[in-house]
Structure 1
Amino acid sequence: MSRKAVVLLSGGLDSATALAMARDEGFECYTLSFDYGQRHRAELLASERVSAAHGAAAHKVVKLDLRTIGGSALTDDAIDVPEEETQGIPVTYVPARNTVFLSIALGWAEVLGAQDIFVGVNAVDYSGYPDCRPAYIDAFERMANLATKAGVEGNKLSIRAPLMDMTKAEIVERGTELGVDYALTVSCYQADEAGAACGRCDSCRLRAEGFAQAGLADPTVYA
């Protein structure tokens, strides 16, 4: 019988690769996406496509409204998405986003009897978000095992971040080996309704550099 895993799936390049890696390990995958008021809603359709392509056992979209607190270019239309490299933590950081997402994933994992949660965070070629670092993932895993029935009964929960130490090029190469169709994914912070990318934001830049460094064709559709 396959082990179950909950996989956080944004619809972008990294999370699609994390899903493929979970499947390659033999997990029965339950994919979880969030409609949180993000500017780039085309990623929700992308997450459905990616989930179906990789044979997920179920795909769930949880609706949240992080626009009610704002504080990010992704959840507040009054804050522009930067189109040049910025110093420090960029305005595309969404306050506490990964903590909120992982907490809901943790709840679903308990319901499913899954002991593994996969998340596509990366601390090499990334935007500098504090909730994408190894120390954060380790701390959340400790909390998860303290705060849940599963954890206190000895069914250890693991937060799996298989991309953490990989460059974007390495992620693209690994995903390609595992059959990920990156044409299904959307990474752009301000993609249009059809999923066409701006080609200028931080996420677009990192994605394009990854394909270029890997020597692979970039299937991204640009506006």
Structure 2
Amino acid sequence: MKQDKAVVVFSGGQDSTTCLFWALKEFKEVATVTFDYGQRHSKEIECARKIADELGVSFHVLDMGLLNQLSPNALTRADIEVEAGDDGELPSTFVEGRNLLFLSFAAIYGKQIGAKHIITGVCETDFSGYPDCRDIFVKSLNVTLNLSMDDQFVIHTPLMWLNKEQTWKLADDLGALSFVREKTLTCYNGIIGDGCGECPACVLRKKGLDDYLASTEAGEES
């Protein structure tokens, strides 16, 4: 039986779109919330809006521009290069406090529309070292949100223990493989679909897809 109402923290990328398809299967009513934090590509918000419209779910944008002032990073500043972290350093794409704020505001928004369930695409398996993608952080914040608002929210993380290959498999199991591949925006250079093929996000996405397609071909041959 489907549960009542959920809010998906939604960027229009591979992970959050896969989570949106998961939520549509699990919940009677699904809303999306997207955050404008001064990211380089306004195309990300446009892509998210288009996907939400196509799938027939509500779409709400919250202004989080303060993040741009407080946490300079490669996703919001054109003068900062997109670089993977070396020697234990976090990648230049890490936005301090982003998931803390996003999930908190998603819960506040959820309370206004009567949604007790918050879905996010964070993942500890392919998380690039981001501390706010860890399971322990999500569980801790879930308790804090419930105490702060005297409510009973549940934060769902369908991708938490999946690598990118398994995330593609989930999309396929949900009947959304082609949709996710062709219509989502993961690329740091703002190219929808398979992206630029060179930035860290595209490299991770492509490797996962290649691994998944190879595994399905091997399964068909055996």
Shared topology, TM-score over 0.5? yes
CA displacement 1:117-153 (0-9 Å, x = unmatched): 000011112322110000000011010110004x2xx
Shift of 1:87: 4.0
Q: In structure 2, do the counterparts of structure 1 residues 52 and 87 end up closer, same or farther at CA, with 3 Å as the change threshold?
A: farther
* 1:145-164 correspondence runs (5 A): 145-149=146-150, 151=151, 156-164=152-160
Q: Which structure is higher in helix share?
A: 2
Q: In structure 2, do the counterparts of structure 1 residues 198 and 86 end up closer, same or farther at CA, with 3 Å as the change threshold?
A: farther
Partner residue in 2 for 1:19: 20
Contact 1:93 1:129 survives alignment (8 Å) = yes
State the alpha-carbon separation in 2 of the partners of residues 60 and 7 from structure 1: 10
Q: In structure 2, do the counterparts of structure 1 residues 42 and 196 end up closer, same or farther at CA, with 3 Å as the change threshold?
A: farther
* 1:172-183 correspondence runs (5 A): 172-180=168-176, 181-182=179-180, 183=182
SS at match of 2:7: strand
Q: In structure 2, do the counterparts of structure 1 residues 178 and 23 end up closer, same or farther at CA, with 3 Å as the change threshold?
A: same
State the alpha-carbon separation in 2 of the partners of residues 26 and 53 from structure 1: 18
Contact 2:186 2:202 survives alignment (8 Å) = yes
What is the identity, as a one-letter code, of the residue corresponding to 2:82? V
CA displacement 1:16-46 (0-9 Å, x = unmatched): 0111111111331100111110113222122
Ranges of 4+ aligned residues in structure 1 off by more than 6 Å: none
Shift of 1:85: 6.5
Partner residue in 1 for 2:105: 104
Which 5+ residue runs of structure 1 have no aligned equivalent?
217-223
Q: Does 2:99 match 1:91?
A: no
Partner residue in 1 for 2:219: none
Contact 1:6 1:31 survives alignment (8 Å) = yes
SS at match of 2:203: helix
Shift of 1:64: 2.1
Q: In structure 2, do the counterparts of structure 1 residues 81 and 70 end up closer, same or farther at CA, with 3 Å as the change threshold?
A: same
Identity %: 36
State the alpha-carbon separation in 2 of the partners of residues 15 and 25 from structure 1: 15
CA displacement 1:157-194 (0-9 Å, x = unmatched): 101111100111111111122132021100012215x7
Q: In structure 2, do the counterparts of structure 1 residues 94 and 3 end up closer, same or farther at CA, with 3 Å as the change threshold?
A: same
* 1:1-223 correspondence runs (5 A): 3-56=4-57, 58-65=58-65, 66-82=67-83, 86-88=86-88, 89-149=90-150, 151=151, 156-180=152-176, 181-182=179-180, 183-191=182-190, 197-215=195-213
State the alpha-carbon separation in 1 of the partners of residues 193 and 40 from structure 2: 12
